Amino acid sequence: MRMLSLAALLLGNLALGAEGGPVVVKAARMFDGKSERLVTPGIVVVANGKITAAGPKAEPPPGAQVVDLGDATLLPGFMDAHTHLSMEMSPDWKQDRLDRFELSIPERTLASVERARKTLLAGFTTVRDLGAEELIDVGLRNAIGKRQVIGPRMLVATHAIGATGGHGDTTNVRKGLLAHESPDSIVDSPDDARAAVRRNVKYGADLIKVHATGGVLSLADEVDTPQLTQAELDALISEAHDLRKKVAAHAHGATGAKRAIRAGVDSIEHGSFLDDEAIAMMKAKGTYFVPTFLPLKFLGAHLDKLPPPTIPKAQAAMAHHAISFKTALAKGVKIAFGTDAGVYPHGQNAQEFRFMVEAGMRPIDALKSATSVDAELFGVADRLGSLEPSKLADIVAVPGDPVADIRQTEKVFFVMKEGVVYRNDRAPGGGRQLAANKPQ
């Protein structure tokens, strides 16, 4: 009933918005996504789903509807470079493992719809979804694009590509029990890697995700071991780039990360054990680093809930992760914002800002990481990531000044995506609103 009522409210308000004209969103301050400081006041003019003017001198057009948010800061819609909307860990890892075998694909898809809604209402209007089963991510992306469900704009990777027995393979299952011992995204040669890329693109991938090392939560590998050869990564990334798809590499360990960097990978995800050589290579090649603090913070608070074999891996990653981040930050590596949502509960993505700042990043740079920097990594900077004329009207608002207190990012109360207001807690009557201004 809750989802039905939300959908009905959204459709009704979109119909009303179709009759309206330009909208002016105002607040005490604004961050445009690129600058070194906030400006005062914040004014953004929106028409037909796009920004027509932004900044303190923006002129409201005659007859425009004005949304005055008061003592708040306007920002570009946040982006998250690393999510998994098709999954979410629970406190019972054994039940999670059983659910993967028992829950139908429609059930799992419907659960992902609610996660997408939470993510959007938390202020994240664009995400990369880095690995899902059964093309759930493709279906969710398409349904959001058609406004059949509410959620962030999605760039999806479909099946993450990995090695036999490694992170992403089906392990710790009795031999012969399953009809297929491994997903078809598991590869063991350069030709296999090229074929896996082609299959993912065939079925709708916007980018490619590869497991270059072991993982914290996988049961049959070490967290920092390399899991694909240099030749396999060379073939995989070459094929993806030939097809104009970027590649994100899950890489905790330095050896696997360096193989991916040599092969031309676009981003290193996690990077818990990066060494000086890996970081120097990233700086030289312009490789982005997506550090994902949140999952390690979450796992650290719930170690007693993890499968026993994964506990020492989590502890080792937690012990070194901040060192990798601080070194990369000091060396000027491009750092993008990503959270590995799904390892922790969806909708809490903005907590990543706090952990980045606590580890030494300037608040203004943390805000850039989730706006203009992510937009560059995603390949969408021509239309997203900043509050500028001609960009899509993705706007969020937080109370107060997020540069003075980065945790204000966790208090998003206004969300607009392509000119449609999905949340405005300060609207008449209060509470969350799913509202108006449908692009023409």
Contact 141, 132 (CB under 8 A): no
Half-sphere exposure of 297 (CA within 13 A, CB side): 20
Angle between helices 276-285 and 254-262 (to 10 degrees): 20
Pinpoint the alpha helices (H) of 90-181.
93-102, 105-121, 136-145
pLDDT one digit per residue (tens) for the chain, 440 residues: 344 344 444 443 443 233 468 999 999 999 999 999 999 999 999 999 999 999 999 999 999 999 999 999 999 999 999 999 999 998 888 888 888 888 999 999 999 999 999 999 999 999 999 999 999 999 999 999 999 999 999 999 999 999 999 999 888 888 888 878 888 999 999 999 999 999 999 999 999 999 999 999 998 899 999 999 999 999 999 999 999 999 999 999 999 999 999 999 999 999 999 999 999 999 999 999 999 999 999 999 999 999 999 999 999 999 999 999 999 999 999 999 999 999 999 999 999 999 999 999 999 999 999 999 999 999 999 999 999 999 999 999 999 999 999 999 999 999 999 999 999 999 876 544 444 334 33
Going by DSSP bridges, is the β-strand pair 42-47/78-83 parallel, antiparallel, or unpaired? Answer: unpaired
Long-range contacts from 37-40, C-beta under 8 angstroms, 24+ separation: 37/364, 37/403, 38/73, 38/401, 38/403
Going along the chain from its start, the domains and CATH numbers come out as: 2-76+385-424 (2.30.40.10), 78-378 (3.20.20.140)
